[in-house]
């Protein structure tokens, strides 16, 4: 359970608790209580968390690469309402991508990961 809890916490730091809850197939408050260690999930929820973990564990290394940059982007956008944060994050990432292309150097892995996430709508 501790591995699942830590993994879920890490995922929410990169995206959002709402997005991870949707990914897992549980409610936001259920996931939040689980992450905080306030509850031991019922068997159905444990199964959903376990299956989700198995599907996402390979992406964990990528997540560690992108986490500091996702956090920086989150900090930059913190004062905006959620609706504007999503669009603005996408624009910032697109501009960063253009900057790397204009420099004639390969894009860093973290930018690729955040742009891939942007395809599903960045939620930081």
Is 87 part of a structural domain of the chain?
yes
Range of the domain at 17: 2-58
Same domain, 43 and 93: no
Q: What CA–CA distance (Å, rounded) separates 17 from 34?
A: 11
pLDDT at 109: 85
Q: What CA–CA distance (Å, rounded) separates 30 from 108?
A: 35
Is 90 part of a structural domain of the chain?
yes
When pLDDT is cut at 50, 70 and 90, the band that residue 112 belongs to is confident
Is 46 part of a structural domain of the chain?
yes
pLDDT at 117: 67
Q: What is the pTM of this model?
A: 0.51
Same domain, 46 and 83: no
Q: What is the largest CA-CA distance in the chain?
A: 52
Is 85 part of a structural domain of the chain?
yes
């Amino acid at each position: 359970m501790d591995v699942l809890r830590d993994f879920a916490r890490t995922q929410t730091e990169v995206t959002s608790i709402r997005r991870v809850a949707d990914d897992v197939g549980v409610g936001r408050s259920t996931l939040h209580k689980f992450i905080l260690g306030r509850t031991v999930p019922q068997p159905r929820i444990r199964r959903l968390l376990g299956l989700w973990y198995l599907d996402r564990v390979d992406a964990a290394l990528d997540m560690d690469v992108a986490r500091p940059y996702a956090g920086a982007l989150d900090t930059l956008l913190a004062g905006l309402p959620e609706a504007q944060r999503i669009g603005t994050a996408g624009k910032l990432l697109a501009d960063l991508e253009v900057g790397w292309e204009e420099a004639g150097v390969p894009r860093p892995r973290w930018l690729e990961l955040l742009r891939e996430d942007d395809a599903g709508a960045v939620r930081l």
